[in-house]
């Protein structure tokens, strides 16, 4: 059996006709930039994610840049970021002229290590930090991060690009964040039909600043309070996301069932590797299957899986400290945990609508790869 790593068509097909009708309406009403459907989406996102104020934007990376700027992050400020994450948080820090400081992950929950973060602040004095809710869950120390940053005057931006539906001790992970962001890149748990994103905050004045920054810094049509960005969502993307929201509970449930299948399967073979899922106290969303091999490199496993017709990925095969533009960055340690994990990680197919037979075929192929290397 050949299994794709991801198949977005399975989520689109149930609402395909409704989407086409929505897009026709947007075309007829020329709802191309902002508009009533975007406003409706913002309200619905705020309700579902338990965030008081939601502001849509063009993509998740813009959300990070605008969020940092709204929090007052300025050129030259030192900003902590986990060494294992997508490039966008590093990029956002650099784009506004701030200085990224790389922090290692905790090997148990794979999120930015809180104790190392504190030691780093004592040494480097962070002006801000990006805490990434990575891999479909969040840090077990989220409450400690928020409390410590508030006490120390560290601006904390929470990158929730991968965490739609994640809950921390019963609350949405977006609740309680000074500013948090989300990406609606199509492969995310809630994905658009292209790039899109949003920002959340409980502070109404901060929400006004965020909205202005994403619309050229406007105060009025031709008056400006800030030097901002052109980062606006249109009705076509908003209407697509509204349709995806109608079925999101089932989509997340499908992901979680696949994640649980992989964990149960490989828990019987602890000699080969470990399947990570959301830690105790955190409800995950099944964003990725996260398997760390004990002895075999992720690259070798991926090659075997591809030969067997199984789609796979390695998220993330290299850490931030291994990228060319980061070579002169400050580091809070040798970053050994993140680099070791990245060398050994493998991701099996996991998407809304994946079947049990596809999960079984994928798991058996990985088991054969383990045993053959």
pLDDT at 213 over 90: yes
C-alpha to C-alpha distance for 200 and 89, rounded to whole angstroms:
17
The model's pLDDT over 329-346, given as tens digits with 9 standing for 90+, comes to: 999 999 999 999 999 999
Query: What is the pTM for the complete model shown?
Result: 0.96
* Bridge partners (DSSP) listed for residue 201: 53
Mean pLDDT for all residues in the chain: 97
Among the listed residues 33, 92, 85, 36, the one whose alpha carbon sits nearest the alpha carbon of residue 60: 92
Burial 330-354 (b: 16+ CB within 10 A, else e): ebbeebebbbebbbbbbbbbbbbbb
Cβ neighbours for 247, distance < 8 A, ≥ 6 positions apart: 11, 14, 15
Confidence of residue 228 (pLDDT cuts 50, 70, 90): very high
The model's pLDDT over 180-194, given as tens digits with 9 standing for 90+, comes to: 999 999 999 999 999
C-alpha to C-alpha distance for 294 and 341, rounded to whole angstroms:
10
Q: Sign of dihedral through CA atoms 252, 66, 168, 39?
A: negative
For strand 330-331 and strand 99-103, is the pairing parallel, antiparallel, or unpaired?
A: parallel
Confidence of residue 230 (pLDDT cuts 50, 70, 90): very high
C-alpha to C-alpha distance for 58 and 229, rounded to whole angstroms:
10
At 141 the pLDDT is 97
The model's pLDDT over 123-134, given as tens digits with 9 standing for 90+, comes to: 999 999 999 999
At 372 the pLDDT is 87
With a pLDDT cut of 90, the percent of the chain lying above it is 99
At 21 the pLDDT is 97
The model's pLDDT over 255-306, given as tens digits with 9 standing for 90+, comes to: 999 999 999 999 999 999 999 999 999 999 999 999 999 999 999 999 999 9
pLDDT at 110 over 90: yes
What is the DSSP track for 122-186?
Answer: HHH--SEEEEE--TTS--TTHHHHHHHHHHHT-EEEEE-TT-TT-EETTEETTTT-SEEEEE--T
pLDDT at 354 over 90: yes
Q: What is the mean pLDDT of residues 53-68?
A: 98
What is the token pair recorded at 144? 């400690």
The model's pLDDT over 141-186, given as tens digits with 9 standing for 90+, comes to: 999 999 999 999 999 999 999 999 999 999 999 999 999 999 999 9
CA angle 141, 182, 162 (to 5 degrees): 60
317 phi and psi, to 5 degrees?
Answer: -75, -20
- The runs of H, that is alpha helices, within the chain are 9-12, 16-28, 36-48, 60-70, 87-95, 114-124, 142-152, 204-213, 235-246, 248-267, 298-307, 336-344, 356-372
pLDDT at 373 over 90: no
């Amino acid at each position: 059996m050949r299994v794709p790593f991801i198949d977005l068509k399975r989520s689109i097909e149930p609402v395909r006709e409704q989407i086409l009708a929505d897009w026709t309406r947007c075309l007829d009403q020329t709802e191309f930039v902002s508009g009533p459907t975007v406003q409706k989406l913002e309200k619905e996102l705020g309700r579902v994610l338990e965030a008081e104020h939601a502001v849509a934007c063009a993509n998740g990376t813009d959300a990070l840049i605008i969020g940092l700027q709204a929090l007052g992050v300025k050129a030259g400020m030192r900003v902590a970021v986990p060494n294992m994450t997508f490039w966008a948080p590093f990029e956002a820090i650099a784009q506004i002229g701030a200085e990224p400081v790389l922090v290692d992950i905790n090997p148990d929950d794979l999120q930015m290590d809180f104790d190392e973060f504190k030691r780093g602040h004592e040494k480097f004095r962070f002006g801000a930090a990006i805490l990434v809710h990575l891999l479909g869950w969040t840090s077990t120390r989220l409450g400690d991060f928020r409390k410590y940053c508030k006490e120390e005057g560290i601006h904390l931006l929470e990158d929730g690009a991968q965490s739609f539906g994640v809950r921390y001790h019963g609350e949405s992970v977006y609740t309680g964040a000074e500013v948090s962001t989300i990406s609606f890149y199509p492969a995310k748990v809630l994905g658009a039909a292209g790039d899109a994103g949003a920002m959340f905050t409980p502070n109404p004045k901060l929400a006004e600043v965020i909205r202005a920054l994403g619309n050229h810094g406007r105060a009025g049509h031709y008056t400006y309070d800030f030097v901002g960005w052109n980062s606006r969502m249109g009705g076509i993307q908003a209407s697509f996301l509204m349709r995806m929201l109608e079925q999101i509970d089932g989509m997340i449930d499908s992901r979680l069932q696949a994640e649980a299948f992989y964990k149960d399967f490989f828990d019987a073979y602890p000699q080969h590797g470990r399947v990570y899922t959301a830690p105790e106290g955190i409800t995950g969303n099944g964003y990725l299957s996260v398997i760390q091999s004990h002895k075999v490199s992720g690259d070798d496993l991926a090659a075997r899986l591809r030969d067997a017709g199984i789609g796979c990925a390695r998220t993330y095969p290299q850490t931030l400290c291994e990228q060319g533009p980061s070579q002169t960055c400050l580091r809070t340690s040798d970053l050994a945990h993140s680099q070791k994990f990245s060398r050994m990680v493998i991701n099996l197919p996991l998407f809304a609508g994946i079947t049990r037979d596809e999960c079984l075929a994928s798991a058996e192929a990985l088991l054969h790869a383990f045993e053959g290397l």
